[in-house]
Amino acid sequence: MTNKTLTLEDLLYFQKTVIEWNEIFGNSVTDKSLIEVYKSLTLEELLGKSELLDSAKSGNKEGVVDGLVDTIYTGFFWGVLNKFTIDAEDNWFRDGSWCKGINDTTFNTSIEYWVESLVESVNRDDVFGFQTNFTILLYICYLDYDLVGAFN
């Protein structure tokens, strides 16, 4: 167990790295033709065989980490393409509002629950809902996994 908490700086690092990685390979943040591609890639990472949901259901921790990291790459870029970015000045992130209540004993920490909410958000083209719920899922999983290490 890492006993580390997901921070705004971690989220900004993920976002910056995803944008840089995509630009290296010629994927511009202004190329709207990539929106549906990254939407499909994100759904595949969430629902595909041996991907995030499948791994969570079977208790495959390595598969969960791989699925989370792959979804950071696809989901964050889907958000950026839709002009939704994590803003360092946004009070929701800055003051920690996004993670308040997560440690409450009644809070649902089931990976499967959050993956299903992500799928619903993607299918509705709800980028804000996806990013909000994905941030919560990453926070929950940070309690057990070194996601920055896996991301790197």
The stretch 120-138 carries a mean pLDDT of 93
Quote the pLDDT of residue 99.
66
- The encoded tokens of residue 48 equal 């595909």
Quote the pLDDT of residue 96.
66
The upper half-sphere exposure of residue 98, i.e. CA atoms within 13 Å in the direction of its Cβ, equals 25
Q: Which of 70, 88, 85 is nearest to 138 (CA)?
A: 70
> pLDDT band at 8, cuts 50/70/90?
confident
pLDDT (tens digit per residue) in 31-71 = 999 999 999 999 999 999 999 999 999 999 999 999 999 99
> pLDDT band at 4, cuts 50/70/90?
confident
pLDDT of 1 strictly over 50: no
Quote the pLDDT of residue 16.
97
Quote the pLDDT of residue 6.
84
Return the percent helix, strand and coil in the chain, to nearest 5: 65, 0, 35
pLDDT of 143 strictly over 70: yes
> pLDDT band at 94, cuts 50/70/90?
low
- Give the global pTM: 0.90
DSSP 34: G
Percent of the chain with pLDDT over 90: 69
